[in-house]
A and B are shown apart, each in its own frame.
Chain A
Amino acid sequence: MTDLAATDPLPKPKRDFLPALLPIILALAVLPLIGSGSSWVTLTVASLAMGMMIFIMASGLTLVFGLMDVLNFGHGAFIAVGAYVATLVLLPLAGWVQADSLLVNLAVLAPAALLAMAVSGALGLVVERVLILPVYGQHLKQILMTTGGLIVAEQALYALWGPQIIPLPLPTSLRGSFIIGDVAIAKYRLLAMLVGLVVFLAVQLVLNRTKIGLLIRAGVENREMVEALGYRIRQLFLGVFMVGSALAGFGGIMWALYREQVHASMGNDLTVLIFIVVIIGGLGSIGGCFIGALLVAMVANYGGFLVPKLALVSNILLMVAVLMWRPRGLYAVTSR
């Protein structure tokens, strides 16, 4: 018996790298199909940028589910709220946005983003206390309550800002592209990629290197045991919910700038995309969410280029394919 003395090394833990390789495999596989190298680079950059933004919006949803088994169908509302709140800063200070100076542009973008995150995070607090706490543990009612919340939030945005689409031009210094040879890379996409990567790394760092992060990971796996160790997981959950909402709001402003417009239905539209991402990734898995977001964005961009007709249902096809392969998503971290 080796258990006690432990003379033998442990069996090498099976690290599951295959899903992580999927985006790379996909990117390489479509290269010959696209033919032109410069188009491929453009599409790949577009995919990465879009994927990172979706990841920012979806990460909160997947953690909220993983940690507390809560299905939030109203997550999209935080996205729209974030975008609208950002216009409160960006539109009055349009002069700063249009100034041809990166520093001035950032000086207006940063407070806009912070305000968006603060408001959607605070809204998260209200939603958790009012809509989710009373129906904790009841999936059916959670879905109904949060769907109701989504309706109310969307309508409230219409009532406050009107039904029209609000144009939100990109700051001047983020317009245009870097040209390298015959490849053009849009500046904003590059920024979106960088910001997304930073958020991903920050989330990973918190989850892997801090005690709070350990608690979240442990709670996703077995919240009863976390409580039995003496931690109040409900407070932890509220914190995760608020951070997740704030990230969704942050994703909302990034997405609004990407599309250069704000509309109350954007939360609704993105909800479907985000759901597909968290399903593909495996509910509760941050790594899976990241890969899922990249895959969804790649399929949308490559698919739209190669087979435009198919682009409409490409996400569904991707989801079906992934779930046929792994019925619980790429990385199933919960036993639920």
Chain B
Amino acid sequence: MTDLLTLAGVNTHIGRYHILHGVDFGVPEGQTTMLLGRNGAGKTTTLRTIMGLWPASSGQIALAGQRIEANATPDIARLGIGYVPESMAVFSDLTVKENLVLAARDGPLDDSRLEWIFGFFPALRRFWLSRAGSLSGGQKQMLSIARAIVEPRKLLLIDEPTKGLAPAIVVALIECFAEIKRRGATILLVEQNFRVAQEIGDAVLVMDNGKIVHRGDMAELANDSAAQERLLGLSLEAHQ
């Protein structure tokens, strides 16, 4: 299996702070890769660096063999990456529809694809013409994800989608991610909740202090409680 996205020796500085210290990993095509780690480990920075929002100060990033670390954010996005930031960043002054119209940058909205999205996020159909700012937190998360998949994308970067959401919505999101994968997209997903991670992940990466400290099979890590304790002790505790 080939890697769709590869990072090699990526360092990122924000102002005077050195956040990523030589991050190396690959994201296998067609799989869902979970990026785990405690708060401040550098997970969000990793996603932002891939998007070019906090450009890497050194190292290489390649998407399908094409180097992208020097590209500007819009050009990176146009290579086929959908991004769901931690803050969701829905445009609250715009309606649900307008948010999706903007996300569909290649042309008008595709009705059949919309139906597909409404299938697992029915709330978006209901509030089609409402301002995104008036949606609930879970609905905003759905909109943010819908924005990333409203047109087919090769790779989705999703940052802590389940944070602070009710269990029923988390279940819906898990189902949605499985659907997206079935349609052939590759996903890199930052997650704090190990139970969610083990349900949707194929591969797993664990970060600490700006480095990748573990990479492997999700199922393997799920069955190895000693490794979980060692790698994720803190974050597990916080979520139990």
Contacts and interface: CB of A to CB of B under 8 A. Distances in A.
Interface of A: 1-6, 10-11, 13, 211, 214-215, 217-218, 220-222, 224-233, 333
Nearest to B126: A6
Contacts of B123: 3-6
Contact of B74 (A4, A220, A222, A230): A230
B85 A227 contact: no
A1 B98 CA distance: 26
B77 A333 contact: no
B139 A217 contact: no
B72 to A, nearest CB: 7
Contacts of B41: none
Nearest to B78: A230
A217 B102 CA distance: 11
A333 B93 contact: yes
A211 B101 CA distance: 8
B185 to A, nearest CB: 16
Interface size class of B (residues with CB under 8 A): 35 or more
Contacts of B133: 13
A10 B89 CA distance: 20
Given A6-B122, A6-B123, A225 B89 contact: yes
B51 A4 contact: no
5 contacts: A2-B136, A4-B169, A6-B123, A10-B127, A218-B91
A327 B141 CA distance: 30
B238 interface: no
B139 A3 contact: yes
Contacts of A2: 136
B39 interface: no
A26 B93 CA distance: 28
B48 to A, nearest CB: 9
A229 B105 contact: yes
Given A4-B123, A6-B123, A10-B127, A228 B83 contact: yes
B64 interface: no
A1 B166 contact: yes
A182 B85 CA distance: 63
A1 B138 CA distance: 10
A330 to B, nearest CB: 15
B94 interface: yes
Nearest to A215: B102
A230 B105 contact: yes
Contact of A231 (B99, B105, B139, B142): B105
A13 B53 contact: no
A218 B72 CA distance: 19
Nearest to B167: A1
Contacts of A215: 102
Interface string B114-131: 000000001100110011
A16 to B, nearest CB: 12
Most buried by B among A5, A214, A229, A233: A229
Nearest to B147: A229
